[in-house]
Amino acid sequence: MGEQINHDRRRFVGAAAITIAGARLGVLGSALEQAACAAGKLTGESALSSLRGANGWLNSQPLTAEALKGKVVLVDFGTYTCINWLRTLPYVQAWAEKYKDHGLVVIGAQTPELEFEKNVDGVRRAVKAMRIDYPIAIDNDYAIWRGFDNNYWPAAYFVDAEGRVRHHQFGEGDYDGQEREIQRLLGAAGFTGFDRELVSLDPRGIEAPADWSNLRSAETYVGYARAENFASPGDAVPDQKRLYSAPSTLQLNQWALVGNWTVGRQATMLNEANGRIANRFHARDLNLVMGPPVGGAPVRFRVLIDGKPPGAAHGLDVDAQGNGTAIEQRCYQLIRQPKPIDDRKFEIEFLDPGIETYIFTFG
Which region among 80-84, 233-237, 252-256 has the lowest average model confidence (pLDDT)? 233-237
pLDDT at 4 over 80: no
Q: CA 238 from chain center: how many Å?
A: 25
The string of pLDDT tens digits covering residues 318-338 is: 999 999 999 999 999 999 999
The confidence score (pLDDT) of residue 22 equals 31
**Are 143 and 53 spatial neighbours (Cβ–Cβ below 8 Å)?**
yes
Q: In whole angstroms, give the CA distance from residue 304 to residue 314.
A: 9
**Are 185 and 166 spatial neighbours (Cβ–Cβ below 8 Å)?**
yes
Round to the nearest angstrom and report the end-to-end CA distance of the chain.
Answer: 21
The string of pLDDT tens digits covering residues 136-191 is: 999 999 999 999 999 999 999 999 999 999 999 999 999 999 999 999 999 999 99
The confidence score (pLDDT) of residue 157 equals 98
**Are 257 and 264 spatial neighbours (Cβ–Cβ below 8 Å)?**
no
The string of pLDDT tens digits covering residues 74-126 is: 999 999 999 999 999 999 999 999 999 999 999 999 999 999 999 999 999 99
Residue 45: pLDDT band with limits 50, 70, 90: low
Average pLDDT over residues 256-279: 98
Average pLDDT over residues 228-256: 96
The confidence score (pLDDT) of residue 6 equals 31
% of the chain beyond a pLDDT of 70 = 88
pLDDT at 217 over 80: yes
The confidence score (pLDDT) of residue 363 equals 98
Q: In whole angstroms, give the CA distance from residue 111 to residue 346.
A: 30
The string of pLDDT tens digits covering residues 274-289 is: 999 999 999 999 999 9
Taking all residues of the chain, what is their mean pLDDT, rounded to a whole number? 89
Helices (H), the chain: 18-25, 31-42, 83-99, 120-129, 143-147, 175-188
Average pLDDT over residues 236-262: 97
Residue 46: pLDDT band with limits 50, 70, 90: confident
% of the chain beyond a pLDDT of 90 = 87
